[in-house]
């Protein structure tokens, strides 16, 4: 039986469940993620759509469509940024690791858009750095 974890926003209005393992766990340093989360980077776990279930809060969940055709999901009550989806990764939902309860049992394996990391929060040196236009091209 595959392990499942739950997660929620700060106020508990939006709750979800994910089935492990995640497809990936990575730190994203792109400008959009940094602005949306107010942080130097966001740690995402990617799941196939069928590994994700929204338990409650559909009416509370708000979505913002970005200029890159991505969708960012956040709680309309407390403002917690939670989800990301994009046609670029069709069939997947990316969940902010910080809103998942429990041990994901996976550590980040890369820094994407590492070439866009701000000087005040550089990409961790112990992980592979990816960047370029796609954000996932190998860089030195």
| Owning domain of residue 51 | 4-138
Q: Residues 6 or more apart from 125 whose CB is under 8 A from it?
A: none
- pLDDT at residue number 2: 84
At residue 29, the pLDDT reads 98
% of the chain surpassing 90 pLDDT: 96
Q: What is the pLDDT of residues 76-100, one digit of tens each?
A: 999 999 999 999 999 999 999 999 9
Cis amide linkage into residue 21, ω under 30° from 0: yes
pLDDT per residue as tens digits for the range 44-85 = 999 999 999 999 999 999 999 998 899 999 999 999 999 999
Pairwise CA distance, residues 114 & 139, whole Å: 8
User: What's the total number of domains in the chain?
Assistant: 1
CATH number at residue 69: 2.170.150.70
Distance (Å, whole) CA 103 – CA 119 = 30
Is the per-residue pLDDT at 102 higher than 80?
Answer: yes
């Amino acid at each position: 039986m595959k392990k499942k974890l739950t997660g929620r926003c700060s106020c508990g209005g939006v709750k979800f469940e994910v089935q492990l393992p995640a497809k990936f766990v990575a730190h994203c340093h792109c400008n959009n993620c940094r602005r949306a989360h107010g942080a130097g980077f966001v740690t995402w776990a990617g799941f196939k759509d069928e590994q994700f279930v929204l338990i409650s809060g559909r009416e509370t969940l708000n979505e913002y469509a970005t200029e890159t055709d991505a969708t960012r999901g956040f709680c309309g009550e407390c403002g917690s940024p939670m989800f990301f989806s994009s046609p670029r990764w069709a069939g997947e939902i990316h969940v902010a690791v910080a809103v998942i309860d429990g041990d994901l049992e996976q550590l980040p394996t890369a820094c994407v858009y590492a070439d866009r990391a701000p000087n005040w929060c550089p990409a961790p040196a112990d992980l592979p750095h990816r960047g370029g236009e796609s954000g996932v091209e190998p860089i030195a």
